[in-house]
């Protein structure tokens, strides 16, 4: 039986899974992000840590938590955790892949449609009492989506779910840039593998699906925006720092691209003030890619199950630090 610290409020179902195994749980019921010092104080002496994507778990934190055996992140992305440091300290790290794929792909299309057809702006127009008559030269004319070219950057599970919607629902041409060729995407959705520069210059819409790493940070920079069509719309539901937000603001202001639909931000929850002002060409959402009730519950329960297995000394189903796993395997 172990002691677990959960950094934020979670569904009752998560607590049930852990308590059924006899574990003792301490939860940060305030639901605010704990500064490292407070997190360490609360998690001290615990074997398990269940955290969210905005809890930063680095080597300094880990060094102050010598009892820690398992870190279970309730997110598919795990750039908030120093994986190398965890592996060096023999701490298992787990994530929640798969269960949020379709939900996130749905949001990509919600954002894409919202930006292309100017839906948030049209909504504001009505609420301001400005809808007086139907006009041919409507003030909110957008752009078509069907049969346009969608560029997908990062053709993992979510990228492929987006490609499916694009080709099967909107007859779009899908081109992609990824770390490797994806046979399924090419066969089933006719996705064409292109270079990053080709993707930038050919796409009407670009959707980002790469994890945040040293390599992908600021992948969308001034240089990249210069290569994009001036009618292009950028959609980001992955991680904010993949886009240089200041460069994005400049690119939109200068008319280098048409606009953006963003669910993630460079300094979350702060948002570049210029983006807030850009009501006509930017759609904003507060990191809700996976935020359906069903999906968030699935993610949280998956994190709890990963924790249970890790604490038993088993390989958790969604172990991130595979090196740790192979070390355990060879030790058997």
| Residues that bind ligand DGY in the complex, under the rule CB under 6 A | 53, 75-77, 100, 289-290
Nearer to ligand DGY, 3 or 106 (CB): 106
User: CB-wise, 100 or 162, nearer to ligand DGY?
Assistant: 100
Closest CA to 152 of 206, 80, 194, 83: 206
Q: State the virtual CA torsion across 76, 81, 84, 88 in degrees, nearest 10.
A: -120
Phi first, then psi, for residue 18 (nearest 5°) are -75, -40
In a 13 Å sphere around the CA of 127, the CA atoms on its Cβ side amount to 6
Catalytic-residue membership of 294: no
Check 239, 272, 296, 298 and give the catalytic one. 239
Question: Which residue among the candidates 38, 250, 268, 274 is catalytic per the annotation?
Answer: 268
The answer to whether 206 and 228 are in contact (CB under 8 A) is yes
Q: CB of residue 202 vs ligand DGY: minimum separation in angstroms?
A: 27
Strand order in 149-153's β-sheet?
192-193, 173-177, 149-153, 205-208, 233-236, 259-262, 282-284
Minimum distance between the CB of residue 117 and ligand DGY, rounded to whole angstroms?
Answer: 25
What length does the chain have? Answer: 332
Per the annotation, the verdict on 186 as an active-site residue is: no
Q: Give 75 or 93: the residue with its C-beta nearer to ligand DGY.
A: 75
Q: Is residue 29 annotated as part of the catalytic site, yes or no?
A: no
In angstroms, the CA 165 to CA 54 distance is 29
Nearest-approach distance from CB 137 to ligand DGY, in angstroms: 40
Minimal distance, residue 239 CB to ligand DGY, in Å: 7
CB of 43 to ligand DGY, least distance (A): 21
Looking at residue 220, what DSSP letter applies? B
DSSP 148-174: -EEEEE--SHHHHHHHHIIIIIH--EE
- The residues, ordered by sequence, that sit 6+ positions from 253 with a Cβ below 8 Å of its Cβ are 274
Catalytic residue among 44, 140, 218, 287: 287
Choose between 87 and 290: whose C-beta lies nearer to ligand DGY: 290
Between 54 and 230, CB nearer to ligand DGY: 54
Active site residues: 239, 268, 287
């Amino acid at each position: 039986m172990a002691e677990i610290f959960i950094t934020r409020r979670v569904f009752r179902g998560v607590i049930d899974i852990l308590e059924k195994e006899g574990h003792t749980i301490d939860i940060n019921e305030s639901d605010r992000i704990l500064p490292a010092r407070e997190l360490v104080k609360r998690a001290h002496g615990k074997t398990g840590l269940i955290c969210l994507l905005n809890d930063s778990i680095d080597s300094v934190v880990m060094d102050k938590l010598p009892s820690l055996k398992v870190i279970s992140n309730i997110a598919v992305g795990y750039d908030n955790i120093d994986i190398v440091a965890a592996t060096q300290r023999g701490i298992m790290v787990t994530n929640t892949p798969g269960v949020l794929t379709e939900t996130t792909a749905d949001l990509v299309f919600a954002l894409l449609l919202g930006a292309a057809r100017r839906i948030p702006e049209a909504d504001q127009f009505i609420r301001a009492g400005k809808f007086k008559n139907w006009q041919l030269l409507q003030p909110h004319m957008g752009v078509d989506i069907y049969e346009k070219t969608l560029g997908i950057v990062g053709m993992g599970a979510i990228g492929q779910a987006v490609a499916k919607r694009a080709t099967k629902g909107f007859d779009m041409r899908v081109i992609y840039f990824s770390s490797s060729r994806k046979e399924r995407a090419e066969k089933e959705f006719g996705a064409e593998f292109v270079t990053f520069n080709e993707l930038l210059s050919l796409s009407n819409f670009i959707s980002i699906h790469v994890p945040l790493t040293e390599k992908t940070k600021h992948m969308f920079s001034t240089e990249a925006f210069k290569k994009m069509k001036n009618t292009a719309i950028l959609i980001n539901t992955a991680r904010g720092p993949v886009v240089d937000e200041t460069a994005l603001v400049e690119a939109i202001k200068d008319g280098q691209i048409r606009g953006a639909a963003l669910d993630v931000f460079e300094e979350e929850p702060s948002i570049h003030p210029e983006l807030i002002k850009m009501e006509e060409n930017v759609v904003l959402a507060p990191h809700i890619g996976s935020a359906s009730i069903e999906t968030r519950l699935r993610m949280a329960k998956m994190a709890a199950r990963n924790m249970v297995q890790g604490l038993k000394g088993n390989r958790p189903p969604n172990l991130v630090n595979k090196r740790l796993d192979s070390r355990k395997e060879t030790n058997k």
